[in-house]
A = this chain, B = another copy of it.
Amino acid sequence: PSSSVAKLLELKAQLGGDDGKQTFVLKTAKGTRDYNPKQMAIREKVFNTIVSCFKRHGAETIDTPVFELKETLTGKYGEDSKLIYDLKDQGGELLSLRYDLTVPFARYLAMNKITNIKRYHIAKVYRRDNPAMTRGRYREFYQCDFDIAGQYDPMIPDAECLKIVYEILSELDLGDFHIKVNDRRILDGMFAVCGVPDEKFRTICSTVDKLDKMLWEDVKNEMVKEKGLTEEAADQIGEYVSMQGGMDLAERLLHDPKLSQSKQACAGLTDMKQLFSYLQLFQITDKVVFDLSLARGLDYYTGVIYEAVLCQTLQAPTPAPAEQNGAVSGEEGGVSVGSVAGGGRYDGLVGMFDPKGRKVPCVGVSIGIERIFSIMEQKAELSAEKVRTTETQVLVASAQKNLLEERLRLTAELWNAGIKAELLYKKNPKLLTQLQHCEETGIPLVAILGEQELKDGVVKVRNVATREENSQKNNLQFKIHRSSSQQYREHLECIDHC
């Protein structure tokens, strides 16, 4: 039935409306957006900060296709699998759009038998989720992933991932933040000693994961009424998940009479102590909290997990209605942007792809860039500074008519000299129009051609902001002799910087 609807829609589009024009909705797909030049300028700035950090830590980069064989994604995301976009079966393989960059990374490692790599990957991923675009939640969105694969001594790469989150969030200047840390083994050990049956570990874990959006009362209700846990077990869990601290808490829990019964929990707590000792060397413990309520949704984590949260709230452009999409209500009236980075250790994922099940231990972090974009865009809106969307240094203009050929010739000379130059695509544009173009787009210099300049073999260069044309005081040559490319470049760069 859906395919006949498609055919009807297609026919309708081809036939068009009553006026002979095609009638269709002019929009992007639900949950997606275009980036205009201003948004792109902000996006590039954010990417540069993130990529610089990844490179500072010695990472290589890879890329994978936007779609994978459907079976590559099967069984990796638990309950979230329903959010995967499938491609239509047009004959051939069954394909799905990637849901994250971690599973394709693991597939890449197994396929190429790579056992050691430190790589970053910045690309779009796809989730058929309920979009909440004013808060930076989209169906198509960027992830910026950094992962370290290899058999190493415990907690050293894990600590570096946290250092990276710390560096990036500090450099982006997004206000105060903190990074919650926990360990899947501590969670599992806690469930075991609280009397949760083995087969309910994952589902109880998903319920605990909702603690950042729901009150404990409601989380407990879900555990007891929906998932059949005893009230006693739920209360014991409740005690543990309210705990927060640092290395001291890990030390204390290692001696907790109940939790220390679990070998798993002890292994996790010992590693947590080790992790904090490295974080102290990195001097980043001021922002890191060992938080037993952190659970994280994805199935594939096996050890340390973490999540970074901004303390700042984001002003929603339109008054947000009742929260439906799991976003947190901000305490200060705005809307909390919530988690902006997350990750953890997943030592079993690569093995799921290896024909012989050989494991490659991995740990990584994903920066949730869309929420960061939203904040940066709002900042740009509020700021008086105008965002330039081109880098043009000089506009080649004419003061008189019939100088198109001269303008074209000079512009080409500038391009050939590596100078960013533009001209208006009109035969006889008014000088005022040309100057207005400079002011609108922020071009700092205008090279003005006139009969006299052509006769003298010079070009008059004007600083658009100051309107200076021939100042001797800065010892600048505002009239450039049209000679070598090298001289052009030197002259213009000098004028541009002064």
A interface list, Cβ under 8 A from B: 2-3, 6, 9-10, 13-14, 21-30, 32-37, 40, 43, 55-72, 74-75, 85-90, 92-95, 97, 107-108, 110-112, 119, 124, 126, 128, 140, 148, 150, 152-153, 156-157, 159-160, 163, 167, 278, 281-283, 352-353, 355-357, 389-392, 404-405, 408-409, 412, 415, 418-422, 425-427
Q: Contact at A30–B93, with CB atoms within 8 Å?
A: yes
Q: Which residue of B lies closest to A419 (CB)?
A: B56
Which residues of B have CB within 8 Å of A281? 405, 408-409, 412
18 contacts between A and B (CB under 8 A): A6-B89, A9-B71, A21-B357, A22-B352, A23-B355, A26-B355, A34-B65, A35-B62, A36-B112, A43-B63, A57-B415, A57-B422, A66-B140, A152-B425, A152-B426, A153-B427, A157-B425, A278-B408
**Taking A2-B89, A24-B71, A34-B64 as contacts, is the C-beta distance between A56 and B418 under 8 angstroms?**
yes
Which residues of B have CB within 8 Å of A405? 281
State how many angstroms separate the Cβ of A418 from the closest Cβ of chain B.
7
State how many angstroms separate the Cβ of A369 from the closest Cβ of chain B.
13
Which residues of B have CB within 8 Å of A97? 66, 87
Which residues of B have CB within 8 Å of A10? 70-71, 74
State how many angstroms separate the Cβ of A23 from the closest Cβ of chain B.
8
Assuming A28-B68, A29-B93, A152-B426, what are 19 further A-B pairs, CB within 8 angstroms? A2-B89, A22-B352, A26-B353, A26-B355, A27-B111, A28-B64, A30-B92, A34-B63, A35-B64, A36-B62, A40-B63, A56-B415, A57-B420, A57-B422, A66-B124, A90-B128, A152-B425, A160-B425, A163-B412
Which residues of B have CB within 8 Å of A282? 408, 412
State how many angstroms separate the Cβ of A174 from the closest Cβ of chain B.
19
State how many angstroms separate the Cβ of A104 from the closest Cβ of chain B.
8
Q: Contact at A355–B157, with CB atoms within 8 Å?
A: no
Report Cα–Cα, A411/B115, bound state, in Å.
24
**Taking A282-B412, A408-B281 as contacts, is the C-beta distance between A153 and B425 under 8 angstroms?**
yes
Q: Contact at A156–B412, with CB atoms within 8 Å?
A: no
State how many angstroms separate the Cβ of A34 from the closest Cβ of chain B.
5
Report Cα–Cα, A322/B136, bound state, in Å.
51
Report Cα–Cα, A239/B74, bound state, in Å.
59
Q: Contact at B392–A33, with CB atoms within 8 Å?
A: no
**Taking A55-B391, A157-B425, A419-B56 as contacts, is the C-beta distance between A29 and B65 under 8 angstroms?**
yes
Report Cα–Cα, A111/B32, bound state, in Å.
14
Q: Contact at A111–B40, with CB atoms within 8 Å?
A: no
Residue of B86, B153, B391 touching A87 (CB-CB under 8 A): B86
| Most chain B CB neighbours (cut-off 10 Å) among A67, A110, A112, A404 | A67
State how many angstroms separate the Cβ of A167 from the closest Cβ of chain B.
7
Report Cα–Cα, A62/B355, bound state, in Å.
42
Which residues of B have CB within 8 Å of A111? 26-28, 34
The 6 closest A-B pairs by CB, nearest first: A152-B425, A37-B60, A32-B65, A58-B422, A86-B88, A35-B63
Report Cα–Cα, A364/B112, bound state, in Å.
39
Q: Which residue of B lies closest to A3 (CB)?
A: B89
Which residues of B have CB within 8 Å of A409? 281
State how many angstroms separate the Cβ of A403 from the closest Cβ of chain B.
12
Which residues of B have CB within 8 Å of A27? 69, 111
State how many angstroms separate the Cβ of A436 from the closest Cβ of chain B.
13
Q: Contact at A150–B29, with CB atoms within 8 Å?
A: no
Report Cα–Cα, A6/B92, bound state, in Å.
11
Which residues of B have CB within 8 Å of A58? 390-392, 420-422
Report Cα–Cα, A40/B68, bound state, in Å.
19
Q: Which residue of B lies closest to A410 (CB)?
A: B281
Q: Contact at A355–B124, with CB atoms within 8 Å?
A: no
Report Cα–Cα, A478/B321, bound state, in Å.
63
Q: Contact at B153–A21, with CB atoms within 8 Å?
A: no
Q: Which residue of B lies closest to A74 (CB)?
A: B13
